[in-house]
Structure 1
Amino acid sequence: MENILNYIEINELISTSGQPSVEQFKQIADNDFEVVINLALHNASNAIENEDKIVTDLNMAYFHIPVDFENPKASDVKLFLNTLQALGSNKVWVHCALNYRVSAFMYIYHKYVLKTPFDDIDISLFEQWSPDVTWQEIIKISYDEIKNA
């Protein structure tokens, strides 16, 4: 799994990455993942055509929550959090183009859902990607703003 772009294991049920290849989706399925959530736009530079079919043909469920990298919204965060929580104990792989959108959303998930202490959250990708003002606002979003989105 470590060969997948910007791979991060969150816990035993959730892992994240940048865009996996077709072969890597097979590896993900072989590692008992049941669900794939894609936060990238369908026209991202490294998007895979028919990703939904590829994933579902591997017997995994597929959710596409397209988040505009230039204009992420509180409603995107709300849909992501609700989707992830609804999946309960399913083993979930979350990806976007480079794992930047996902890292920001997972930070929010850690903060409000898992209530993970800050020092225990893997923010290593923030060293590689410096979130601009728009993403900083999303990362700092309050739980009330998410609920009311």
Structure 2
Amino acid sequence: MEEILNYIKINELISTSGQPSVEQFKEIAQNDFEVVINLALHDASNAIENEDKIVTDLEMAYFHIPVDFDNPKPSDVKLFLNTLQALGANKVWVHCALNYRVSAFMYIYHKYVLQTAFDDINISLFQEWLPDTKWQEIIKISLEEIKKA
């Protein structure tokens, strides 16, 4: 798992990364993941054609929530949080192209859903990626703004 681009284990049920390869999706399935959520656009530079078929052929559920990296919206956050919460105790792999979108959304998930203390949130990718103004606004979004979206 460590070889997967920007891999981060959030907890026993959730792991995140950049775009996995076809072989890495097989490894993800072999590690008992039940669901894959993809936040990248279908035409991302490292996207895999027919990813949904590859994932479902490995007997994992597949959700695609395409988030425009240049224009993330509160409604994207709301859909992501609702999807992740609805999955309950399923083992979930969340990815995008580089794990930047996912890291921002997981920060929000930690803050509002898991209510993790700030110092305990793994935001190591923020050392590598400096979020622009639009992403900073998304990261700082209030719970009320998410609910209104």
Shorter chain as denominator, the TM-score bin is over 0.9
Q: 2:12 matched to which residue of 1? A: 12
1:4 Cα deviation after fit? 0.1
Give the distance between the partners of 2:80 and 2:90, measured in 1 at CA. Answer: 15
Aligned-partner residue type, residue 10 of structure 2: I
In structure 1, runs of 5+ residues without a counterpart are: none
Q: 1:43 matched to which residue of 2? A: 43
Tell me the SS of whatever aligns to 2:20.
coil
Q: 1:132 matched to which residue of 2? A: 132
Q: 2:93 matched to which residue of 1? A: 93
Question: Could you list the per-position Cα deviations for residues 86-114 of structure 1 after superposition, in whole angstroms to 9, with x for gaps in the alignment?
Answer: 00000000000000000000000000000
How large is the Cα RMSD of the aligned pairs?
0.2
1:71 Cα deviation after fit? 0.1
Q: 1:112 matched to which residue of 2? A: 112
Tell me the SS of whatever aligns to 1:20.
coil
Question: Is 1:73 paired with 2:80?
Answer: no
Tell me the SS of whatever aligns to 1:101.
helix
> Scaled by the length of structure 2, what TM-score is found?
1.00
Tell me the SS of whatever aligns to 1:62.
strand
In structure 2, runs of 5+ residues without a counterpart are: none
> Scaled by the length of structure 1, what TM-score is found?
1.00
Question: Could you list the per-position Cα deviations for residues 101-146 of structure 1 after superposition, in whole angstroms to 9, with x for gaps in the alignment?
Answer: 0000000000000000000000100000000000000000000000
Between the two proteins, the alignment pairs up a number of residues equal to 149
Runs of 4+ in 1 over 3 A off after TM superposition: none
Identity of aligned residues (%): 87
Give the distance between the partners of 2:133 and 2:26, measured in 1 at CA. Answer: 36
